[in-house]
Amino acid sequence: MPTETAAPALDFDACYRAASGRDARWDGRVYLCVTSTGIYCRPSCPARKPRQENCRFLPSAAACVAAGFRACKRCRPDALPGTRDWDARSDLVARAVRRIRDGAVDAVGVAGLAAELAVSERHLRRMLLQEIGASPLQLARTRRAHAARSLIEQTTLPLADIAFAAGFGSVRQFGDSMREEFGIAPSRLPRPGIDGADAVGAPAGAASDERPRLALRLRTRAPFAAAATRAFLVAHAVPGRDRSDADGATAHAIDVPGGTAVVHIDWAGVPPDHGTAGTMTWIPVLLSLPGLSDTMPAIQAVRRLLDLDADPAQIADALGGDPRLRSLLIARPGLRLPGARDGAEFALGTVLGQQISLAAARTVQGRLAAAFPGRVAPGGEAPGFHPRPSPERVAATDAEELRARLGLTRARAETLRSLAAALAAGLDIGPGADRERARRELLEIRGIGPWSVELIAMRALGDPDAFPAGDLILRRALDVRGDREAARLAEPWRPFRGYATQHLWADFLESVARKEPR
């Protein structure tokens, strides 16, 4: 029988109306739990809706499992992408959810996560149960189980290797968690992959020059602006860290605990968007990993890089009422806000890119990666790609040497060194950081102003409401003269000012390109 948990109260009538209407816009934000069957579903599940007295609504899949429900085999609520709702908040619970999503419980345990957030384990557990209905351990278990099911469906890896790749400590724990989540042993889950496609993947245990390779389809909500996202990544590609292939695919170095992974993105294989809001699509990728234990960190980094947890319908609803943005949303449906693959690398690159062209910035960022590569464990190297630059090595280098090696002004070299020293000393600018504290500490560094801070907040901290009001292109696109006027115009766009900025940038740069002589 389903158990009672300290789940938060939701508006039952609104949730039931959404479920009765099979409204896909609610998928991933609320889950329908049926007490008479012990099953939980998406609101859009095509099955006949149960009587009201047999319904419960919970805000997360982990809360459903913690309450004793298992995933519906028909609508597959476990296959939903994540949500950026938690990225729009900066409170303790939101920071904890972001860190768990990035694998903090696997890396440092609940005690380590609580210490990072400066609270006790008991308080952290109480807050998550109160707001989400699941403990940190349950959230982490659900994350692993959903990842494992995706690997089962999409790869030919042995189940023991899948358990290891998904972050389980043992095969027994893997089996217990899968039965708890799905009501079935992992060996009985269907293979091969989704939509009747052939399963893909390489066996584990390969030699160091034959790194594990996994071909996956990463799910996201439609529409997905593939051409615009690819153009953005190509425009910001760093030599030695990113590469464009002759067939239109791109490759990107991704830093994981075991070294440097590489993700190859098959843009030609992205399905055309023919669905309505709330439907799913996928991005075909090939991961080359130092080891299978790096699977989960690599997947999460790619999801962040491509902003695969965004909800285009939600963003369009929030921004579409503004006449300035309505046509831009129609022109580029599903435009994403790509995140930084590594916060420290992006912050250092932002300083290098101040007051120079994008092409020049890419060149200098490539020099930084080549001159100050981070240490990688033996066997963790990715042939043809540099690891992320090391803040510790940059901080230990004299400003005059930085100036000479990277081709910087002395003032820029001093700023780069000061930022690197702060990062090496523990300045947190990752997705789970305290955003306001990070902003304050960045502004205290000489040579870093509000424009740089907001860019770092947008891409590294993952704040969808970051807004670089002083950006020259942004002000031109808005036809305003000052930062205050730009900020005033953007106030109605909260909490998605970052997405509005991305649309305005894309439109302005495209219009300039059309005017340039060919």
> Which two three-digit tokens encode residue 46?
């095509």
Tokens of 438: 């990070």
- Report cis status (omega within 30 of 0) of the bond before 297: no
CA proximity to 436, closest of 28, 95, 26, 187: 95
Instruction: Compute the distance between CA of residue 402 and CA of residue 413 in angstroms, rounded to an integer.
Output: 6
Residue 284, by phi and psi: left (phi above 0), alpha (psi -120 to 50) or beta?
beta
Between CA 130 and CA 446 the distance in angstroms is 42
445 half-sphere exposure, CB direction, 13 A CA radius: 27
Radius of gyration of the chain (CA): 23
Strand partners for 40:
33, 71
Phi, psi angles (nearest 5°) of residue 71: -70, 140
Closest C-alpha to 143, from 309, 314, 6: 309
Per the listing, tokens 């992320």 go with: 388
Active site residue 41: yes
471 counts as catalytic: yes
**Which positions ≥6 away from 43 have C-beta within 8 Å?**
15, 18, 19, 22, 23, 24, 26, 27, 30, 31, 32
E strand or H helix that includes residue 327: helix 323-331
Residues 6+ apart with CB under 8 A from 206: 212
SS3 434: coil
Beta bridge partners of 280: 221
Phi, psi torsion values for 504, nearest 5 degrees: -65, -40
Q: Annotated catalytic residue: which of 41, 45, 55, 64? A: 41
Are the C-beta atoms of 218 and 283 separated by less than 8 Å?
Answer: yes
Q: Can you tell me the distance from the alpha carbon of 258 to that of 379, in angstroms, rounded to the nearest whole number?
A: 8
Active-site residue (options: 27, 307, 309, 471): 471
- Which residue from 482, 502, 479, 478 is spatially nearest to 490, judged by alpha carbons? 478
Distance CA 202, CA 199 (A): 10
My answer on whether omega of the bond before 223 falls inside 30° of 0, hence cis, is: yes
Give me the active site residues, please.
41, 471
